[in-house]
Amino acid sequence: MRIGIGYDIHRLVKGRPLIIGGLPITYDKGLLGHSDADVLTHAICDALLGAAGLGDIGTHFPDSDPQYKDISSLTLLTETCRLLTEKGFRIVNLDATLLAEAPRLTPHYPEMQTRLANAMNIDAADINIKATTTEGLGVIGKGEGIAAMCIAMID
């Protein structure tokens, strides 16, 4: 068994769609980034790459590369899983936490799990998603961004 950790944060801005866990969420702001800025999916990719000893998302999918401009991060996740499979690894489970003051994310967990599981070709029950606010504290509490953490176990 091997474990890996992933963390990501993106700035919330007007004029961008909000996509978390591959799911478009209705909100007046979205996350800024080179890809679709899906903070949860990025944290998952980094946790998986970390567990496999394969570096990080920035190395495999650099934001200086035009082919990743506005790309769905689910595509990056599928590619990440392909890299793991290539090394003979299998995903055991993922546990992720979103840090967001708003919008309310709880109602969206099942659909996020389904989309992520499809991208990874694993069981949705092996992906746990949860969220917390930061009680109004710091940049996340002020609604300037959304962050995500993930721990992955592989074998």
Question: Least distance (Å) from Mg ion to the CB of residue 88?
Answer: 27
Instruction: Give 61 or 109: the residue with its C-beta nearer to Mg ion.
Output: 61
**72 vs 92, beta carbon nearer Mg ion:** 72
The site for Mg ion (CB under 5 A) is made up of: 8, 42
Mind giving me the DSSP string for 71-105? --HHHHHHHHHHHHHHTT--EEEEEEEEE-SSS--
Least distance (Å) between residue 1 CB and Mg ion: 26
CB of 8 to Mg ion, least distance (A): 4
Spatial CA neighbour of 61 closest among 40, 46, 39: 46
Least distance CB 36 / Mg ion (angstroms): 10
Q: Which is nearer to Mg ion, 65 or 155 (CB)?
A: 65
Q: Which is nearer to Mg ion, 123 or 152 (CB)?
A: 152
Place of tokens 């990501």: 8
Q: Tokens representing 58?
A: 């920035």
Distance CA 74, CA 19 (A): 10
Distances in whole angstroms, Cα of residue 75 to Cα of each of 18, 22, 38, 47: 17, 10, 11, 16
Q: CB nearest Mg ion: which residue?
A: 42
Cα–Cα distance, 87 to 34 (Å, whole number): 28
